[in-house]
Amino acid sequence: MRMTVIGTGYVGTVHAACMADIGHQVLGIDIDAERIAALSAGRAPIHESGLDELLARTVASGRLRFSTSLADGAAFARTHFVCVGTPQRPDSHAADLRYVDAVVDGLAPHLRPGSLVVGKSTVPVGTAARLAERLAGAASAPGTEVAWNPEFLREGSAVRDTMRPERLVVGVTSRHAEGVLRAIYAPMILAGVPFFSTDPATAELVKVAANSFLATKISFINAMAEVCDAAGADASVLARAIGADSRIGPRFLAPGLGFGGSCFPKDIRAFAARAEEIGAGEAVEFLHEVDRINTRQRSRTVDQARRLLGGSFTGRRAGVLGAAFKPGSDDVRDSPALVVAAALQEQGATVRVHDPEAIDNARDAHPELTYALDVDKACEDADLVLHLTDWPEYRDIDPAALATLVRSPVLLDARNSLDAGSWSAAGWAVHAPGRPRLCAPAPSKAETAALAGGAS
Ligand code: NAD
């Protein structure tokens, strides 16, 4: 089938390449000419596992091409996936829909009759209906329908999530639109992926409800970590123990620095703002608290770092592990790691940041920070090492070797995922949110032997 994918960012690039890989003819469209030139040469604008190979293969096959022209797109296909950004508005918590609106307005004069505009961007409920009205006024597009097909891919596993999603949700107003989307996703449906066909409003809400639930789970365990810190209890044991309950489940229950990125924070805020507009604000009032708990984890991390450095950052060195908002991605939008790193620097510390993939993006966002291409360089002479993004690489660090490079072996594992036992056995004082009894390094062999000797 022929289709366009408009907006070639994290969602659009992956969607376009995956659709081409399963056999469709795809034209990717973006207003960013540089991005389109790179994509046309088979170069991915983002880091995602498997994307480079997929892009090279589909561009070489001729099934995936790129353009900057919506008119070309309308001439090429009758199905148009809209994947442009929907960031938070600068003046409020609501979603900024200017990019979505610009695509629809730009397509309208060129659309052929009977076209299908399929939104994948995350939008406030009611957007599809509003866009349908907008398009109905455009004379050149009789019979055009607007559907919504929210995207659930996770950065870091975006290609896998698109090829084998956990569910497909389509919000449609006709059997024709449902048929087109079933045909496009036929290989996934045949492979058993659940397919939910509903109205556009429900489809729009499925996406924000899912993100709100996950954000709530993360903030819940972080609130428990705050209580554990006050009570001298261990939030990581608590998380494992409640997660063993099959009604709760262990995922998204790691106490730590909280969520960031381009989705959860702005999606829960936009959801609360939209609910307020439609008279249901009270129902999602709790999302404000979820947001507050999440933001507080960043300031709690900075406060804990300051305490560990004796009350002041001035003249102290911090080695920061991680800049991306999550492992597996080079995305630094609203990254908790960078927010913490920047706060340390602003308050007088000298900060050196390492990340396996996100350094270029981090440097663009925070040019005032110093970046290091390897962990050793980031941590050299550090008074404190902070683990802020949970890249699997960091679990392979040899804590004994790193201890010889730092000025003092103090680790703040804000992601609560390094092996505290082996770090403290290597002489580190290990601190982590929700685990106030963690900090003492394990006794050395000599100390253990001396203790054993003293006892006998
Ligand atoms: P992004 O910022 O990475 O990409 C957006 C792209 O749209 C950019 O390349 C931009 O140049 C392009 N664009 C802007 N205006 C345009 C126009 N008028 N015509 C053509 N192209 C235009 O955004 P993203 O992270 O891919 O997110 C896109 C949407 O998908 C958002 O609504 C987001 O909330 C949602 N979403 C994102 C993810 C994710 O993990 N990133 C997951 C699910 C849903």
Q: Give the mean model confidence (pLDDT) for residues 154-178.
A: 97
- Statement: residue 182 has pLDDT above 70: yes
Q: Which overall architecture, per CATH, does domain 234-452 show?
A: 3-Layer(aba) Sandwich (3.40)
pLDDT confidence tier of residue 454, bands split at 50, 70 and 90: very low
- Statement: residue 456 has pLDDT above 70: no
Q: Which overall architecture, per CATH, does domain 2-198 show?
A: 3-Layer(aba) Sandwich (3.40)
Of 18, 228, 263, 379, which residue is the catalytic one?
A: 263
Shortest-distance Cα residue to atom 37 of ligand 1: 11
Q: What is the pLDDT of residues 235-289, one digit of tens each?
A: 999 999 999 999 999 999 999 999 999 999 999 999 999 999 999 999 999 999 9
Which residue among 8, 11, 47, 266 is best mutated to probe the pocket of ligand 1, counting the most ligand atoms within 8 A of its Cβ?
11
Quick one: which atom of ligand 1 is closest to the CA of 120?
30
Q: What percent of the chain has pLDDT over 70?
A: 96
Q: What is the pLDDT of residues 140-159, one digit of tens each?
A: 678 899 999 999 999 999 99
For residues 81-117, one letter each, b for 16 or more C-beta atoms within 10 angstroms of the residue's C-beta and e for the rest, the string is bbbbbbebbeeebbbbbebbeebbebbbebbeeebbb
DSSP label at residue 220: H
Q: Give the mean model confidence (pLDDT) for residues 71-100.
A: 97
Known catalytic membership, residue 379: no
Distance CA 148, CA 439 (A): 50
pLDDT confidence tier of residue 455, bands split at 50, 70 and 90: very low
- State the distance from the centre of ligand 1 to the C-alpha of 231, rounded, in angstroms: 43
Nearest alpha-carbon partner for 147 in 208, 203, 77: 203
- Statement: residue 451 has pLDDT above 60: no
Q: Please, what is the average pLDDT of the chain?
A: 95
pLDDT confidence tier of residue 398, bands split at 50, 70 and 90: very high
38 Cβ contact list (under 8 Å, min separation 6): 44, 45
pLDDT confidence tier of residue 139, bands split at 50, 70 and 90: low
Quick one: which atom of ligand 1 is closest to the CA of 154?
40
For residues 203-225, one letter each, b for 16 or more C-beta atoms within 10 angstroms of the residue's C-beta and e for the rest, the string is bbbbbbeebbebbbbbbbbbbbb
Q: What percent of the chain has pLDDT over 90?
A: 93
Distance CA 358, CA 361 (A): 5
Say how many C-beta atoms besides its own lie within 10 A of residue 318's C-beta: 25
Q: Give the mean model confidence (pLDDT) for residues 374-398.
A: 98
Quick one: which atom of ligand 1 is closest to the CA of 13?
26
Q: Give the mean model confidence (pLDDT) for residues 380-384.
A: 98
pLDDT confidence tier of residue 7, bands split at 50, 70 and 90: very high
Q: CATH 3.40.50.720 in the chain: give the residue spans.
A: 2-198, 234-452
- Statement: residue 376 has pLDDT above 90: yes
DSSP three-state, residue 409: coil
